Amino acid sequence: MKVKVAVAGASGYMGAELLRLLLVHPHVELVAVTSERLSGEPLDSLYPHLRGLTLLTFDALDPERLARAVECVFLALPHMESQKAVPVLRRHGRKVIDLSADYRLKDAGAYATWYKTPHADADGLAAAVYGLPELHRKVIASASVVANPGCYPVGAVLAIGPLLRAGLARGEGIVIDGKSGVTGAGAQGRKVDPMYLYTEANENLQAYGVAVHRHTPEIEQELSGLAGRSLTVAFTPHLIPLNRGLFTTASVPLAKGATTADLLACYREVYAGEPFVRVLPEGRLPTTRAVAASNFCDVAVVADPRTQRAVCLSAIDNLGKGGAANGVQNLNLMFGWDERAGLEAPPVYP
């Protein structure tokens, strides 16, 4: 028997990618989708690419009704909105995969600092598990609430993590540069930031959120866990004229001398058996095109003996491994299925 699932907040880019994956998942029946703005509209009126795959219509979000209808709910809601739904769903014993930032930071004080508002669901925050399978696979499998990671943290943590795990990196002086396609900002509805307009984003590259981006504490939280001590990183995000894709370049001080071959051996050991992390051979570097519309993360590392640093690189699809596809991987873990279920299709090309 298939597991019944719902997607709340299905009218954005992340929701669209979730629907595309869930409608063909072998163990899932998608039974409800919500959108306040489009309540009553057929799903395929917004997403003609899904025409013929479903007869669902958008409903307004009613957590009580969803809790009676499904076993698991994906929340692709604006930040702070998930905190209203999660307590209701937990009370009914439903599993939740939240794609907002509401449950990613374990420290409620850090949440209040970075999101400028107190967290409203202390119990849910305490129960939530950070949903990066490569770090937290075992606890995800038994979790009731999984906080799906942000796209920039996925790229950064998977690029840098092996060096910290192996004690090959110093914790001070880590500098992270992230570049994301425009879908990282979401569909935005009627209110569109001018920087995401075609005329502004095309033929352009710009930094934003300098020194204040809200994914910074998330990156620090997970890297600190790997290092076993508190770390502070310098992180700068950039917008690039791609629909989808995220590229990370991190400069990491090495704790001792190492060659590129040494570092790659470390990465291959750490990621051995990981179904969605591909460690590239020496001389090969990641590209966003090679992971488009997939749950793959391609990683590479190069030793720079002149500066005693490692250059760590990763490429993901911000809606894939950086969002919806990673959420489906978490779903698979939570229900005891093969992690690759529904995610076997290779990246698209060109």
Per-residue burial over 270-304, b = 16 or more CB atoms within 10 Å of its CB, e = otherwise: bbeeebbbbbbeeeeebebebbbbbbbbbbbbbbe
CA–CA gap between residue 235 and residue 171 (Å, rounded): 14
CA–CA gap between residue 244 and residue 288 (Å, rounded): 8
Residue with tokens 């229900």: 335
Within a 10 A sphere around the Cβ of 89, how many other Cβ atoms?
26
Question: How does strand 145-147 pair with strand 95-98?
Answer: parallel
Question: Cis before residue 162, ω within 30 degrees of 0?
Answer: no
Residue with tokens 């969002």: 323
Within a 10 A sphere around the Cβ of 172, how many other Cβ atoms?
9
CA–CA gap between residue 291 and residue 317 (Å, rounded): 6
Question: How does strand 95-98 pair with strand 72-75?
Answer: parallel
Within a 10 A sphere around the Cβ of 132, how many other Cβ atoms?
24
Residue pair 297/329 in contact by the 8 Å Cβ criterion: no
Name the active-site residue from 151, 266, 297, 312: 151
Residue 202 tokens, joined: 């095309």
Residue 151 annotated to the active site: yes
CA–CA gap between residue 2 and residue 30 (Å, rounded): 9
Q: What is the dihedral of CA 235, 240, 244, 250, to 10 degrees?
A: -30
151-165 and 133-141 helices, crossing angle to 10°: 100
Q: How far is CA 258 from CA 18, 207, 248, 263, 347, in A?
A: 41, 32, 21, 7, 33
Catalytic residues: 151
